[in-house]
Chains A and B, each alone.
Chain A
Amino acid sequence: MIILFTVTCLFALGLVFSVILYFVAQKFKVEEDPRIEQVEKLLPGANCGGCGNAGCRAFAERIVSAESMEGLFCPVGGNEVMNQIAEALGRTAVEGDAKVAVVRCSGSPDCRKRTSVYDGYASCKVMASLYKGDTDCSYGCLGLGDCASACEFGGVTMDPVRRLPIINTDICVGCGGCAEACPKGVIELRSRGLKERRVYVSCVNRDKGAVTRKACTVGCIGCGKCAKVCPFEAIKVEGNVAYIDFTKCRLCRKCVDECPTHAIAAVNFPPRPVPEKPVEQPKEEEQ
């Protein structure tokens, strides 16, 4: 009898409250564009912030409220996802440029001598707040791996021998988390480039040439040879460091050969044919 009474009571209470809740929900209903939900489902859901919004939901809201797809790009999903979203909304997607993080420092211990021993907490951020770093270069990678711990996708690992981060370009989505975590601003987001080929100056040292040279053998000394040889005016030397504008660079690699300190990196190019007998080589080229 008691059981029956309890069940009935609870059932009645539940009914009363559900009716109240129903009317309250009707009264305070927030009209929301159903497309937001739809777009959010299409997005990868990584919530990395790479698009510049606070998570995927915020990005979906922005896409739906925006007039066109100009300037809206999800680095994780890439063009594929953006096309799907555009299709769902009946718009045309703007071709976005997929980005990838590159480390603009090649100062491994064999080219950049350590001049002091850092004994503090193993974090680049803490080290940078205390002093310039354990080498004579005050601009380069500190090698403690804040970028590796910042990457939400596990795409950055530290090379224990070279003491530099390695970015796995297959995993990297170009969200910029590592670039933000780096207190020295060594990591840059660059265009993935044609066939994944990229040419960039792998140095950010703004010291004068002589100072840079003393600190590191592979640093950019700001000599400007690369800028002179570049046929596309893609290279600018500002503040004793060269920078290659990836929107102008046509990957000819003339600068790579010209650089006296080999500070310019060219990645994913096929190995150049090494002439076995240099004397005969010109003849073949003439043919």
Chain B
Amino acid sequence: MKSSTFPIGGIHPHEWKFAAESPIEDFPLPEEAAVSMAQHLGAPAEPVVAKGDKVLVGQVIGRATSFVSAPVHSPFSGTVKAVEPRADIAGNMVMHVVITVEGDEWLPEIDRTPDVPMEVRFSAEEIIAKIKDAGIVGLGGAAFPTHIKLSPQKKAECLIINGTECEPCLSSDDRIMREYPRQIIMGARLMMRALGTDTCYIGIEENKPEAIRALGDAAAYWPGLQVVVLRKKYPQGGEKQLIDAIIHRRVPSLGLPIDTGAVVQNVGTALAVYEAVQKNKPLIDNVFTLTGPTLEVHRNFRVRVGTPYSKILAFAGNLPDGPCKLISGGPLMGKAIANIEATTLKASSSLLIITGDMVPRNQEMTCIRCGKCVEACPMGLEPYLLNRLCRAGGRQDELEKERIYDCIECGCCQFTCPSYIPLLDMIRTGTAEVMKIMRSRPKK
């Protein structure tokens, strides 16, 4: 096994995988939960329960409304208290189903026994239908409905399972690879069947030797599956970077990963696929890291979707005085939590607590044209230039020429900037404007 990586850009932040040695624990059920109907990219689900209805764990509470959508299942048993708009982590109002939790009663068809059935009993169509009904979305962060990714327009040559977890602090993927290697391999085999391919690469960064060993051992039984050890570099977990690192093909600008013949799925998604197909369990929980660089507590929980962040925060112990930054996701691509009463989503992966000196942003200074951002950009863009054009305003044609739409918002440029210029913040506003113009153009 030789270790490889993507060729251009990238950064080496601190690893800070403090929670990597904490085993996964079940998170206690909250008294009240609010399950968002907008758990995924695309159209939000439509609630199919009303106030006063009794629900069981695994019951459908929101149905998919369009092609790019996914159903939502109840992660709790209890009574529906309300179906109302509530604020999500960014404070935007989203329809939620609020459930008063009573006991923990599961639908009878969900197999909760610990045995791991390893035979593939279903055809490709059946697997995709089961994944669709289970409401599985990409657990790498973007929450794109998985069944769409598994039915690509072109023939898939290989499946890539993303176990890189390149963001600092996060360790949920590492833990599931160590604790559920056979299940992940089974999930990968099911997705190989669904795609009709017999090649699967599992990309893991070399800082997770135990996960590499566990998955390597589990994969050894099956032909076509191969663990690829990758050099540690952020953003290796980005779809385009991972494809480049493993099969050395580049996704064309404005193209899809399938143009290279690869379909990328997260290890969390593989586990969810296994549970949905072999155990009839819809996507109702995920593994969640509670950590922070200055915290004493670092834990990994299996958290049900719809658990309020405030409940998870209560496990963090005593926080120091002064402002804290709460981030859902990793420190580089995560989103700051503006509303602590918001609840977790299917694709939430961590609650990161930042305290003390690391909270305030550094004072922005002028660009010294060192070119570090250009060196760091994994998409080969020129962030300093994009920043300048975005600030000038009305320069969308030039921004388009500079391929601003290729930005994957990884934040490498901003991380590496010695003048602390908010490059990504500016580029994001420019991307929104350029994409709006590009979408409004008549299609050829």
Contact = CB atoms under 8 A, between A and B. Distances in A.
Interface of A: 115-117, 119-121, 123, 125-126, 129-134, 136, 138, 207
B90 A130 contact: yes
Chain B interface residue bracket vs A: 10 to 19
Given A117-B323, A120-B361, A131-B336, A126 B91 contact: no
Contact of A138 (B92, B359, B364, B425): B92
Interface stretch (B56-64, B273-281, B426-434): B426-434
Interface in B177-225: none
Interface string B427-444: 011001000000000000
Q: 5 smallest A-B Cβ distances: which pairs?
A: A132-B91, A131-B90, A121-B422, A126-B425, A121-B425
Contacts of A123: 429
A77 B428 CA distance: 37
Given A121-B426, A126-B425, A126-B429, A132 B360 contact: no
B361 A129 contact: no
B338 interface: yes
B256 interface: no
Given A126-B425, A129-B429, A138 B91 contact: yes
B361 A116 contact: no
Contacts, number: 47
B90 A132 contact: yes
A119 B87 CA distance: 21
A138 B87 CA distance: 10
B93 interface: yes
Contacts of A132: 87, 90-92, 338
A119 B361 contact: yes
Contact of B425 (A120, A133, A136): A120
A136 B422 contact: no
Nearest to A133: B91
Contacts of B429: 123, 125-126, 129
B426 A126 contact: yes
B422 A126 contact: yes
Contact of A136 (B91, B359, B361, B364): B91
Interface centre among A115, A126, A133 (most CB of B within 10 A): A126
Contacts of A136: 91
A130 B424 CA distance: 11
A129 B93 contact: no
Contacts of B323: 117
Interface string B307-332: 00000000000000001000000000
B338 A207 contact: no
Nearest to A137: B91
Nearest to A127: B425
Contact of A130 (B336, B359, B361, B426): B336
